[in-house]
Amino acid sequence: MIQPATIYLNGQFISKDKAFISPEDRGFYFADGVYEVIKYYKSHPFCFNEHISRLRNSLAGIQIHYTGVEKLDSIGKALIEANQLSEQYAAVYIQITRGVATRVHRFPDGEISPTVYIRAFPMPPLLQEMRRGIQVITRKDIRWQMCHIKSIALLPNTLLFEEAAARGAGECLLVRDGYFTEATHSNIIAVKKGILHTHPDSNFILPGITKQVVIRICKEVNIQVVEEPIPADEVKDYDEWFITGTGSEILPVVMIDEMTVGNGKPGPVTRLLQREFFKITYRALASEEMSTDDW
């Protein structure tokens, strides 16, 4: 018998089947909430503190006062265990909304308890995509101008990703005012003559945690990183492209719209960074399925 998943909702661990929220939750009415996704590599949360720090920034950015951030570590661990994900690659999803209130745009007066919804689920590595790379499309970045807040107002992201997926692509690179910003749920990095280029952290992109790890690796292996927006009309001038994210990790981009990147295979800098990244993340299993020998 399959056990229904255990989730966490407002202080309680309950069966997913019994988890319900009010339609008057401001998350449902107004997308008035934020979220994080943290990867657990066989029980080891990756960059947990960085995710929690970003969550705090997102909460502060929309003035949600949630006092339970300290508990998220133990809740995450408990969910990984309860869902028998301790020996797997998994993730914990955390969503916090302003809470339940009569529908008016203004924030509710007085005390309101944020809605806290957390769940764990398997997140296996995208082995094929990591090895072969993915194709992507490019579209206008139509999102709002506070993309540094990881809000649940993700309708534009889903519409743009759906457009990519419907075309057989694995992501949608976004272009605002002539420059690449990020993708619908990952950051964009390009390589030219051995130098990494990526959009600087600003209100137009989410400050990617995997991106920061890649930048840190670059410092260690002496690869220069230029944090400046990449002009969309110079897409052909770059030798390699890849995207980064908690779920994507490091995914080579081998085709952008109709353009083949390089020889259509993941490039040497991308592969080097994958190897270094996997040494950190999959270190426990270097000789197993994620052996870096493959790269």
Taking the complex as a whole, the smallest distance from the CB of residue 153 to a copy of itself amounts, in Å, to 4
- Note whether 236 and 255 are within 8 A (CB): no
Specify which residues 92 forms β-bridges with. Answer: 38, 120
- Give the residue with the Cβ less far from a copy of itself, 96 or 213: 96
- Give the residue with the Cβ less far from a copy of itself, 144 or 226: 144
Place of tokens 């970003």: 54
- What's the rounded Cα separation, in Å, for the pair 255 and 179? 18
Q: Which stretch binds a copy of itself (CB under 8 A): 99-107, 224-232, 237-245, 251-259?
A: 99-107
Segment 189 to 248, residues that bind a copy of itself, using CB under 8 A = none
Q: Is 62 in the site for a copy of itself (CB under 8 A)?
A: yes
Task: Say whether 279 is catalytic.
Answer: no
Q: Which stretch binds a copy of itself (CB under 8 A): 45-53, 93-101, 124-132, 258-266?
A: 93-101
- Give the residue with the Cβ less far from a copy of itself, 49 or 145: 145
- Give the residue with the Cβ less far from a copy of itself, 27 or 267: 27
- Note whether 186 and 243 are within 8 A (CB): yes
Annotated catalytic residue: which of 18, 71, 140, 150? 150
Among 1, 2, 106, 168, binds a copy of itself (CB under 8 A): 106
- Note whether 19 and 70 are within 8 A (CB): no
User: How distant, in Å, are the alpha carbons of 23, 39, 95, 262 from that of 118?
Assistant: 18, 13, 6, 41
- Note whether 38 and 46 are within 8 A (CB): yes
The pair of structure tokens assigned to 9 is 């909702």
Q: Which stretch binds a copy of itself (CB under 8 A): 154-162, 211-219, 249-257, 272-280?
A: 154-162
> How far is Cα of residue 245 from the mean position of the Cα atoms in its chain?
4
Q: Is 23 in the site for a copy of itself (CB under 8 A)?
A: yes
Buried b (16+ CB within 10 A) or exposed e, 73-91: eebbbbbbebbebeebbbb
- Give the residue with the Cβ less far from a copy of itself, 27 or 252: 27
Task: Please give the positions annotated as active site.
Answer: 150
The residue ranges that bind a copy of itself (CB under 8 A) are 7, 9, 19-23, 25-32, 62-63, 93, 95, 97, 103, 105-107, 117, 140, 142-146, 151-159, 161-162, 165, 184-185
